[in-house]
């Protein structure tokens, strides 16, 4: 860095970061796991000698994997990096170098971080990704000023301070929830570097995350003044509209700006409509969702996908608008968004829960016909509800589906079915499904067997019971 720049020493992050750990990494290579264990359990002074004693041969890929999982042990990780460098004839990959810079910076070890950057410079390995890491580390420790000063000295490392570098810094600032600092920096930097659409898209995404409607409007106006109306700047428009929805005038203001965009031959994207529908579905805002849906389909001409239809179906179900939810399901096919298992399951769950059993029976038949599997919990509730109203045949149909498609937690439902069949004097059916349970390894309880025996004795068919009991005991 610049000679007159005073470098800061290690500082504690405002919040303790959670770094990836080898202990939670799935399918980890045994060699990498051993190396990570040594790094995480050995004092820094003894790491290199212990690594040497392993006799392991290291590849560049091994180094990258180990460094990725050793952020919590920066000193030991650097010792490992040096040790492995001897095996690799000091031919570390650029990615490994960037990992070292990043893990040192993310731990606030800025002196060591810059030493690594200087070593990279001597090897000709410094890249924009290196600076992106430095920017991010400084901002993470509330050192936006240091991040900006780093931007100013990029030319000393052979990099032009262009709009790509500018956007990299702004992105690092906004990602840490400091969008106001990003906006202030842009206002100063634009006298030397002309921002582009991405510059403002990054800021507007920051305001969206922070929910700052006022500054989102200000930034949007500045964007129009600087880069004009760009039809390709969909991410900026989406973030801006999503922020407006959260404001005082909410949906109405957002839709008014949709009209303004359309007048300028600019269009919001699928993300805005999807995210807004999801938000409205979570809070049960039917009116807002319908307004967004209408604008999306009628004004912008976007065809909703299956996920969007599912959001509307779930919303209508939550508000007991069953007919409308079913219409949405029927409409999907005609717009090219075909129902999936979630589409049916949401409706079936609602119909069963609200005991709208005629509709639920029709829905169940349609699901099975289309090879969609209702959830086991919904099937269980459906069997109970149909038995409660005396519709044993539909209950049996769903039970047969359950034993064909599920292989656990069926005992309670099966025993309930047999007892209800006994109550209805449907003994042949009760015996049949008791036998079916036994053959499938589903336990028929002693209370159910006793009930079955009593019912058969009353009909003078004790022999049937004895045969079933023998099968039960053998199973």
pLDDT in tens, 438-460: 888 889 888 988 888 887 777 66
182 is a domain residue: no
Cα separation, 286 vs 290, in Å, equals 6
- 400-412 mean pLDDT: 92
Q: Output the pLDDT for position 385.
A: 95
Where is average pLDDT lowest: 102-116, 118-132, 431-445?
431-445
> Are residues 134 and 113 in contact, defined by beta-carbon separation less than 8 angstroms?
yes
Where among 94, 109, 141 does a domain terminate? 141
State what percent of residues in the chain have pLDDT above 70.
93
Q: 242, 208 in Cβ contact below 8 A?
A: yes
Which pLDDT score, from 0 to 100, does residue 469 have?
A: 55
Q: Among 16-25, 180-189, 258-267, which is the least confidently predicted range? A: 16-25
Mean pLDDT across the chain: 90
Q: Is residue 334 part of a domain?
A: no
Mean pLDDT across the stretch 319-328?
Answer: 92
Rounded to 5 degrees, φ, ψ at 93 are -75, 155
In a domain, 378, yes or no: no
How many domains does the chain contain in total?
Answer: 2
Q: Does some domain include residue 261? A: no
Q: Are 414 and 399 in contact (CB under 8 A)?
A: yes
Query: pLDDT class for 473, splitting at 50, 70, 90?
Result: low
Q: Of 141, 176, 210, which residue is a domain's last?
A: 141
User: Which residue, of 99, 124, 141, is where some domain finishes?
Assistant: 141
95: in domain: yes
Per-residue model confidence (pLDDT) at position 458: 76
Is the pLDDT at 242 greater than 70? The verdict is: yes
The percentage of residues in the chain with a pLDDT greater than 90, rounded to a whole number, is 77
Domain that holds residue 408: 383-475
Q: Residue 285: what pLDDT?
A: 94
Residue 376 lies in a domain: no
Q: Does 398 reside within a domain?
A: yes
- Concatenated DSSP letters of 48-106: HHHHHHHT----HHHHHHHHHT-TT-HHHHHHHHHHHHHHTTT---HHHHHHHHHHHHH
* Whether residue 143 has pLDDT greater than 60: yes
Instruction: Summarize the confidence of residues 161-186 as an average pLDDT.
Output: 96
d(CA 164, CA 183): 16
Query: 375 lies in a domain?
Result: no
Average pLDDT over residues 123-129: 94
pLDDT at 384 over 90: yes
Please determine, for residue 260, whether its predicted confidence score (pLDDT) is greater than 80: yes
Q: How far apart are CA 19 and CA 350, in angstroms?
A: 41
Dist CA 303 CA 466 (whole Å):
63
pTM for this model (two decimals): 0.81
Q: Is the pLDDT of residue 15 over 80?
A: no
pLDDT at res. 249: 79
- The model's confidence at residue 7, banded by pLDDT at 50, 70 and 90, is very low
End-to-end Cα, the chain, rounded Å: 78
Residue 467: its pLDDT value, please?
62
């Amino acid at each position: 860095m610049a000679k007159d720049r005073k470098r800061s020493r290690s500082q504690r992050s405002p919040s303790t970061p959670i770094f990836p750990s080898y202990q939670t990494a799935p399918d980890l290579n045994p060699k990498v796991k051993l190396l990570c264990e040594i790094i995480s359990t050995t004092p820094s002074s003894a790491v290199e000698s212990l690594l040497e004693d392993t006799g392991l041969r290291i590849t560049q890929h091994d180094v990258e994997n180990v460094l990725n999982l050793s952020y919590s042990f920066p000193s030991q990780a650097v010792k490992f990096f040096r040790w492995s460098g001897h095996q690799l004839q000091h031919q570390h990959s650029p990615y490994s170098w960037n990992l070292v810079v990043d893990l040192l910076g993310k731990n606030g070890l800025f002196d060591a971080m810059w030493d690594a950057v200087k070593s990279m410079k001597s090897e000709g390995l410094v890249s924009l990704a290196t600076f992106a890491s430095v920017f991010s580390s400084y901002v993470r420790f509330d050192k936006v000023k240091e991040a900006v000063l780093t931007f100013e000295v990029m030319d000393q490392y052979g990099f032009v301070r262009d709009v790509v570098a500018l956007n990299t810094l702004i992105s690092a600032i906004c990602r840490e929830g400091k969008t106001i600092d990003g906006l202030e920096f842009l206002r100063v930097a634009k006298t030397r570097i002309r921002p582009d659409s991405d510059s403002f898209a990054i800021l507007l995404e920051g305001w969206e995350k922070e929910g700052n409607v006022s500054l989102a409007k200000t930034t949007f106006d500045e964007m129009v003044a600087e880069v004009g109306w760009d039809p390709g700047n969909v991410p900026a428009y989406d973030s801006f509209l999503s922020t407006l929805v959260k404001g005082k005038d909410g949906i109405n203001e957002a839709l008014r700006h949709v009209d303004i965009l359309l007048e300028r031959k600019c269009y919001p994207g699928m993300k805005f409509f999807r995210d807004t529908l999801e938000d409205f579905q979570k809070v049960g805002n039917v009116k807002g969702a319908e307004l967004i849906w209408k604008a999306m389909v009628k004004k912008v001409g976007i065809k909703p996908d299956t996920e969007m239809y599912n959001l509307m179906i779930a919303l209508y179900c939550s508000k007991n608008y069953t007919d409308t939810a079913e219409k949405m399901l029927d409409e999907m096919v005609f717009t090219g968004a075909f129902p999936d298992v979630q589409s049916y399951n949401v409706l079936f769950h609602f119909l069963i829960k609200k005991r709208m059993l005629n509709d639920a029976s029709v829905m169940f038949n349609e699901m099975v016909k289309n090879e969609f599997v209702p959830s086991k919990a919904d099937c269980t509730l459906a069997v109970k509800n149909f038995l409660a109203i005396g519709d044993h045949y539909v209950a049996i149909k769903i039970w047969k589906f359950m034993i064909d498609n599920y292989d656990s937690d069926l005992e309670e439902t099966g025993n309930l079915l047999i007892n209800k069949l006994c109550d209805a004097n449907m003994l042949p059916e009760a015996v049949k499904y008791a036998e079916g349970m036994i053959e499938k390894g589903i336990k028929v309880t002693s209370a159910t067997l006793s009930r079955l025996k009593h019912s058969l004795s009353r009909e003078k068919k004790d022999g049937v019971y004895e045969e079933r009991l023998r099968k039960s005991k053998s199973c």
